[in-house]
Amino acid sequence: MIFSKRCLHALRAVLYVGTQPPERDYIPIREISTKLDIPFHFLTKILKDLADQGFIESSRGAAGGIRLAKPTAELNVKEIIESIEGEDYFSGCILGFSKCDAANPCALHDRWVAIKEEIQKMLGEEHLESLSTRIQEQGLRLLEM
């Protein structure tokens, strides 16, 4: 699996929030945890990080929970992933070298550059809006089956 559990939990959680009816304000983490079968306290920590990064907002107390901090069109999938996996998760060297570029390439550099740019392009184009729309219109799942 390419992504860590943290990352998958985070993505599924924001997608869940993004596909809720617009009249809902804060969504309780307990609800997300139950619906998506993600450990509650673990999810709480992950979402706290996303809140610190400015992707979501949280409110304590009764009627509290989390909501998206920006319109879904402005919440980029690549940015969310990189905030969890690290900025250079997709831009780094496939053989793990810290400085690998055209001037000083590793043995797979040239071939990997083309692919990683496509991955970044694909993920950079995907926002919560496009994904949420697709999930709602086509009934795509957020749950393991």
Interface pick for a second copy out of 58, 94, 124, 129 (rule CB under 8 A): 94
Stretch of 27-35, 49-57, 63-71, 103-111 contacting a second copy, by CB under 8 A: 103-111
- Applying the rule CB under 7 A, the residues between 31 and 70 that interact with DNA are 39-42, 44-45, 47-48, 51, 58-66
Q: How open is the CA angle 87-90-94, to the nearest 5 degrees?
A: 120
Judged by beta carbon, residue 30 or residue 121, the one nearer DNA is 30
Place of tokens 């780094």: 92
The pair of structure tokens assigned to 136 is 């709602």
Q: Which does 71 bind (CB under 5 to 8 A by kind): a second copy, DNA, none?
A: none
Q: Which does 101 bind (CB under 5 to 8 A by kind): DNA, a second copy, none?
A: none
Indicate left, alpha or beta for 36 from its phi (over 0: left) and psi (-120 to 50: alpha). alpha
Rounded Cα distance between 53 and 32, Å, is 19
Stretch of 27-35, 56-64, 66-74, 86-94 contacting a second copy, by CB under 8 A: 86-94
Q: 144, 37 in Cβ contact below 8 A?
A: yes
Interaction between residue 107 and a second copy (CB under 8 A): yes
65: β partners: 59
